[in-house]
């Protein structure tokens, strides 16, 4: 999370999206979650949240740029504040304005990054003094993607998402995110994943890579276990993958449980690929890998 502005009663946070450079689903756990093996990378596509501490009144969430997102208790921002308000006996309330740019249900952790921003804002505005360990623990109760956002911005993520190890693979490349007009529920994606189709070999290990070339070569030996399932269900994803490869992408992969696809480029992609995506009626975003601020 990137804190843009802070006063005694207000905080503005830029909340980044993430991609999965690879993602293996290793099996279902006794607690109902799935173990994963993944490399997460934060990218420069942001939601912007302004949190204002109020002495009285009711919690209020307003949302711009995304008319289909409801500002009610189904939103992770509202759920997160309600949980923290109850747990820490918080007096007063919160007004949140969310400028939403990360696509919904797209495999980019848009809801998760907003929830982590809420945890951090409440901790700071009410001076709760929670440690990073405390904040990570709270975040894991809300969702498995959340602990990553307390990392350096690039991390190996295992367990159900609670084991986060910072990594230092090259980041000097450009990413073209492509978000078709589909929304894929994470729960439904997991339910449609036949575990027999996932790897029975040991989890993929990405060796040390000194250059982007090395990184791409090694990543091409890995995969996203959801991609094969979604390519069968949604033909448009195959068209996107073929188009990005045709127009210069070094590698194309699905992020998370989908349906966003991304291509890795050495330099800005050509106008041809942008025209191709416009013809497919896909939203697209040109982004870069980012580093997140260190937090104790």
Q: What is the pLDDT of residues 3-58, one digit of tens each?
A: 887 888 999 999 999 999 999 998 778 887 888 999 999 999 999 999 999 998 88
* Residues 137 and 268 occupy one common structural domain: no
User: Taking the CB of residue 166, how many other CB atoms lie within 10 A of it?
Assistant: 12
Q: What is the pLDDT of residues 200-244, one digit of tens each?
A: 678 899 989 999 999 999 999 999 999 988 888 889 999 999 999
Average pLDDT over residues 244-261: 93
Which of 44-53, 84-93, 190-199, 244-253 shows the lowest mean pLDDT across its residues?
190-199
Task: Please tell me the predicted confidence (pLDDT) of residue 219.
Answer: 96
Write down which residue in 139, 166, 193 finishes a domain. Answer: 166
* Residues 80 and 180 occupy one common structural domain: no
Average pLDDT over residues 50-78: 89
Q: Is the pLDDT of residue 284 over 70?
A: yes
Average pLDDT over residues 82-97: 94
* Residues 160 and 58 occupy one common structural domain: yes
Q: What is the pLDDT of residues 143-186, one digit of tens each?
A: 999 999 999 999 999 999 999 999 999 999 999 999 998 877 67
Q: How far apart are CA 95 and CA 24, in angstroms?
A: 38
Which of 57-66, 75-84, 95-104 shows the lowest mean pLDDT across its residues?
57-66
Write down which residue in 140, 166, 192 finishes a domain. Answer: 166
Which of 12, 47, 114, 145 is flagged as catalytic? 145
DSSP string, 102-136: SPTTSSS-HHHHHHHHHHHHHHHHTT----HHHHH
**Total number of residues shown for the chain:** 296
* Residues 90 and 206 occupy one common structural domain: no
- Return mean pLDDT, the chain: 91
Please confirm, yes or no, whether 100 is among the known catalytic residues: no
Mention every residue, 6+ apart, whose C-beta is less than 8 A from residue 86: none
Which of 18, 53, 100, 241 is flagged as catalytic? 18
Task: Please tell me the predicted confidence (pLDDT) of residue 198.
Answer: 47
Task: Please tell me the predicted confidence (pLDDT) of residue 195.
Answer: 56
The answer to whether residue 296 is domain-embedded is no
* Residues 12 and 151 occupy one common structural domain: yes
Q: What is the DSSP letter of 9?
A: S
Q: Is the pLDDT of residue 66 over 90?
A: no
* Residues 145 and 195 occupy one common structural domain: no
Domain of residue 261 covers 174-287
Please confirm, yes or no, whether 18 is among the known catalytic residues: yes
Average pLDDT over residues 235-261: 93
CATH number, domain of 56, equals: 3.30.230.10
The answer to whether residue 292 is domain-embedded is no
Report whether 112 contacts 143 (CB < 8 A).
yes
Q: What is the DSSP letter of 65?
A: S
Task: Please tell me the predicted confidence (pLDDT) of residue 156.
Answer: 97
Task: Please tell me the predicted confidence (pLDDT) of residue 37.
Answer: 95
Task: Please tell me the predicted confidence (pLDDT) of residue 202.
Answer: 85
Residue 197's pLDDT band, with cuts at 50, 70 and 90, is very low
Please report, rounded to a whole number, the percentage of residues in the chain having pLDDT higher than 70: 95
* Residues 46 and 159 occupy one common structural domain: yes
Strands annotated E in 107-250: 154-159, 163-166, 174-179
Write down which residue in 125, 149, 166 finishes a domain. Answer: 166
* Residues 149 and 42 occupy one common structural domain: yes
Residue 125: name the closest of 10, 226, 253, 260 by CA: 10
Average pLDDT over residues 287-294: 93
Task: Please tell me the predicted confidence (pLDDT) of residue 194.
Answer: 65
Question: Does residue 200 sit in helix, strand or coil?
Answer: coil
The answer to whether residue 162 is domain-embedded is yes
User: Taking the CB of residue 205, how many other CB atoms lie within 10 A of it?
Assistant: 9
Total structural domains within the chain: 2
């Amino acid at each position: 999370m990137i804190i843009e502005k802070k006063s005694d009663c207000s905080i503005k946070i830029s909340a980044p999206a993430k991609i999965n450079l690879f993602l293996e689903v290793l099996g279902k756990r006794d607690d109902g979650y799935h173990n994963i093996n993944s490399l997460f990378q934060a990218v420069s596509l942001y939601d912007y949240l302004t949190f204002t501490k109020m002495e009285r009144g009711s919690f209020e969430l307003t949302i711009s740029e995304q008319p289909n997102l409801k500002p009610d208790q189904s939103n992770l921002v509202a759920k997160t504040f309600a949980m923290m308000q109850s747990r820490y006996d918080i007096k007063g309330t919160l007004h949140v304005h969310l400028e939403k740019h990360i696509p919904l249900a797209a495999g980019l952790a848009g809801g998760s990054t907003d929830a982590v921003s809420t945890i951090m804002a409440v901790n700071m505005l009410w001076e709760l003094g929670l440690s990073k360990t405390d904040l990570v623990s709270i975040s894991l109760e809300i969702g498995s993607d959340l602990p990553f956002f307390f990392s350096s911005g690039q991390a190996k993520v295992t367990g159900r998402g609670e084991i986060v190890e910072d990594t230092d693979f090259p980041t000097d490349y450009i990413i073209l995110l492509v978000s078709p007009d589909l929304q894929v529920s994470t729960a439904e994606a997991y339910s449609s994943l036949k575990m027999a189709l996932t790897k029975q070999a040991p989890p993929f290990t990405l060796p040390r890579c000194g250059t982007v070339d090395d990184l791409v070569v090694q990543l091409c030996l890995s995969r996203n276990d959801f991609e094969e399932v979604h390519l069968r269900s949604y033909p448009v994803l195959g068209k996107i993958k073929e188009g990005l490869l045709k127009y210069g992408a070094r590698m194309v992969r699905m992020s998370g449980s989908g349906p966003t696809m991304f291509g890795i480029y050495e330099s800005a992609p050509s106008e041809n690929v942008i025209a191709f995506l416009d013809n497919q009626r896909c939203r697209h975003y040109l982004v870069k890998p980012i580093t997140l601020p260190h937090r104790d």
